[in-house]
Amino acid sequence: MHLYWMQLHITPGIVAMTASLKLISHKLCPYVQRAVIALKEKGVPFERIDIDLASKPDWFLKLSPLGKVPVLVVPTERGEVALFESNVICEYIEETQAGSKLHPVDPLQRAEHRAWMEFGSAILGDLWGLETTTDPATFESKRQALVAKFERVEAALGTGPFFAGNAFSLVDAVFAPIFRYFDLFDELTPHGIFNDVPKVRAWRAELAKRPSVRSAVGADYPQLLRAFLVRHDAHLLKLAA
């Protein structure tokens, strides 16, 4: 796929691109959504290329050492550079693209935000267990782990509407895809994960309104997620029966 050169030199040998950026994606991946949200918040044009992770193309495996999405393909003077790992991609977007700042200026606050981004990844680990397990005991264990983690998030939140107040940040980009899962899960079972975290509930509702968040997935996302649960014979679906 040919890339067209645009924009300015940011550092020697590296060209920050707009329309030339390619994001290798999967329609359900929450880590991809982080990068999409960051790009949209910055107003950066990009080409999104969805692949089937069950049948990864050879060209993708050559780009991604871990065989995972997202991968951001950046054209440079020395050829294409493939960036992998979602937080790395988000940091690169923040550092090279114009638009709203998605990280605090203060180094300590910025480090705190990075730490909470990692905490969001830990939540996704528990979510994976919750949505894929066929075992009731494992489901309950993961449910309780999520309750505990969101209680920690509740304690860290201020008055909102976003994680750090009025400014949308990369922490918001990390948690928005987490909350999106529960749009379906709420329909399936009264899981109670958000019962005692009113600040988290308000944050979730605010993020759901954000245009960058809403457009980070296709209209078929709920159907694809439900089909994913069916393929895994998820206990979560049995609770809805």
128 and 92 in a common domain: no
Sign of CA dihedral 33, 34, 36, 37: positive
Flag whether 195 is in a domain: yes
pLDDT per residue, tens digit, the chain (241 aa), is: 333 223 323 333 333 434 489 999 999 999 999 999 999 999 999 999 999 999 999 999 999 999 999 999 999 988 899 999 999 999 999 999 999 999 999 999 999 999 999 999 999 999 999 999 999 999 999 999 999 999 999 999 999 999 999 999 999 999 999 999 999 999 999 999 999 999 999 999 999 999 999 999 999 999 999 999 999 999 999 997 6
Q: Which listed residue (29, 37, 39, 153) is catalytic? A: 29
Residues 118 and 233 in one domain: yes
What is the b/e burial string over 48-62, where b = at least 16 CB atoms within 10 angstroms of the residue's CB? beebeeeeeeeebee
What's this model's pTM, rounded to 2 decimal places?
A: 0.91
Helix (H, G, I), strand (E, B) or coil at 218: coil
Domain that holds residue 73: 9-96
Q: Which residue has the tokens 């638009």?
A: 99
> Is residue 101 in a domain?
no
Asked if 29 is an active-site residue, the reply is: yes
92 and 112: one domain?
no
